[in-house]
Structure 1
């Protein structure tokens, strides 16, 4: 596994409402642009406009790599703890992300209408209920993928609910979600793209969840016994509602996507936890 060096893009966004890890990295070690990517930048995304299919977007609520040509994120990364939850209602204000570079096509709220696919959140609305602003940020279309309805509303929702149950029980988590490939099966059948070819339908959807008891110095507390849940689920409407049947290894997701996940961890620990398939409870 390799470590990468990324420069701080915006000092005022460095912690941007995220929990500090209280770790001062050495100059040669990965330096996160936000606490949401404390475990690494999976694709080496940058904020250079020329990096249009791996464009780094840093928001107070999460960080993502965006693909202009696909019209979807490659991955979204966020920290989840009880600090991010509250009583803010679901906003449902789906909208184009106006922070994309000028001249780029901006996927609109109606792009998925009649497609047979849901506007599937990467970071879910219910993970950001601290404030109305936080919740609203999850409805930007740069956070969406065309997701088969049963996949989104059953299998994926069950995994999201389980993750928040862990948080309610006194845990915290670093979550990375992404998708890859071309072609899924929604309620209207198979499709490679929607919105007149401007949005790619992914073939598979994955997620990695690193689970820790609440505490400080998070990176230093991750060890060979830390629970890491990794799933990779086909984007089809006939998907099994039991997300546990789709558990895999982080290594397998890396092989499928070309990403380098959890790269900020020491290699010895990273190698162990990435090769292990979770066998813990699923509800």
Structure 2
């Protein structure tokens, strides 16, 4: 009788383990991952040109303009896999990976200019490690940004992006600037550092919102939420980013870029013509 009970208990345990393992194997999960920053495409076909130089880092990708001393655009993926507890490093510094022929912008080029060293990829989007956060403080990730634009309007949009991630989404974000001349806390300026750094006139961002998953570009459809924002680089800018919503088509017309080039053309036509009217918090 004892042997029978022991054998029955053993067989019951094995059966339970088999069911548990089977359930674990077939249960679908969508875990956050770190994906390609250029999944949506290379907007300007950046390569080795001095005005359109491609820089790919583990934390983001960008097109750098050595004549302006700023990026044309910066592209990055954002999911909870990029977020953690790493503190803000504040180690602004020149990007020594640029070609030797390029002037390497230094933090002091912005000193007393009336413009912030404005991040493209935000520090708070890269808190997974100290290394990730530190990478956002390279000057190739900076533009001269009016303080109220950077600290109020733009900060609100950046916070909303991270709220979307907390809600279970992953984002593909492209940010850039164009034009010449902005209004900082010390008034209007067109350049800094003796002409080495151009102050942009407008600052834009395009955000593609997807629920967590894989094969991201293939999951984009005509109902996918795309947020496009274009703001003046001025201290008088309003604090509500949503009042500056526009379409991808408008930004492309201003910049000459193809912002969603890896998305099928027919789908681009629909998504890029729509002006987002979704929630803002």
Structure 1 distance, partners of 2:189, 2:280, is 31
Q: For residue 19 of structure 1, what is the aligned residue in structure 2? A: 34
Q: For residue 197 of structure 2, what is the aligned residue in structure 1? A: 199
Q: For residue 241 of structure 1, what is the aligned residue in structure 2? A: 239
Aligned CA-pair RMSD: 0.7
TM-score normalised by L of structure 1: 0.87
Q: For residue 132 of structure 2, what is the aligned residue in structure 1? A: 134
| 3-state SS of paired residue (2:76) | strand
TM-score normalised by L of structure 2: 0.88
Structure of higher CA gyration radius: 2
Structure 1 distance, partners of 2:202, 2:101, is 29
Q: For residue 119 of structure 2, what is the aligned residue in structure 1? A: 121
> Map of 1:175-194 to 2, 5 A cutoff?
175-194=173-192
| 3-state SS of paired residue (1:76) | strand
| 3-state SS of paired residue (2:110) | coil
1:57-80 per-residue CA deviation (whole Å, 9 max, x = no partner) reads: 000000000000000000000000
| 3-state SS of paired residue (1:158) | helix
| 3-state SS of paired residue (2:173) | strand
1:233-266 per-residue CA deviation (whole Å, 9 max, x = no partner) reads: 0000000000000000000000000101101001
CA apart distance, 1:108: 0.4
CA apart distance, 1:103: 2.4
1:16-47 per-residue CA deviation (whole Å, 9 max, x = no partner) reads: xx735xxxxxxxxxxxxxx101101000100x
- The reply on whether 1:41 has 2:42 as its aligned counterpart is yes
The structure with the greater share of residues assigned to helix is 2
Among candidates 53, 56, 66, match of residue 64 of structure 2: 66
Structure 2 distance, partners of 1:274, 1:103, is 37
Q: For residue 53 of structure 1, what is the aligned residue in structure 2? A: 51
Q: Which runs of 5+ in 1 are unaligned?
A: 1-17, 21-34
- Superposition misfits of 4+ residues, deviation over 6 angstroms: none
Structure 2 distance, partners of 1:282, 1:191, is 32
| 3-state SS of paired residue (1:38) | coil
Count of aligned pairs: 249
1:79-101 per-residue CA deviation (whole Å, 9 max, x = no partner) reads: 00000000000000000000000
1:200-249 per-residue CA deviation (whole Å, 9 max, x = no partner) reads: 00000000000001111111110000000000000000000000000000
Structure 2 distance, partners of 1:110, 1:135, is 20
Structure 1 distance, partners of 2:257, 2:214, is 27
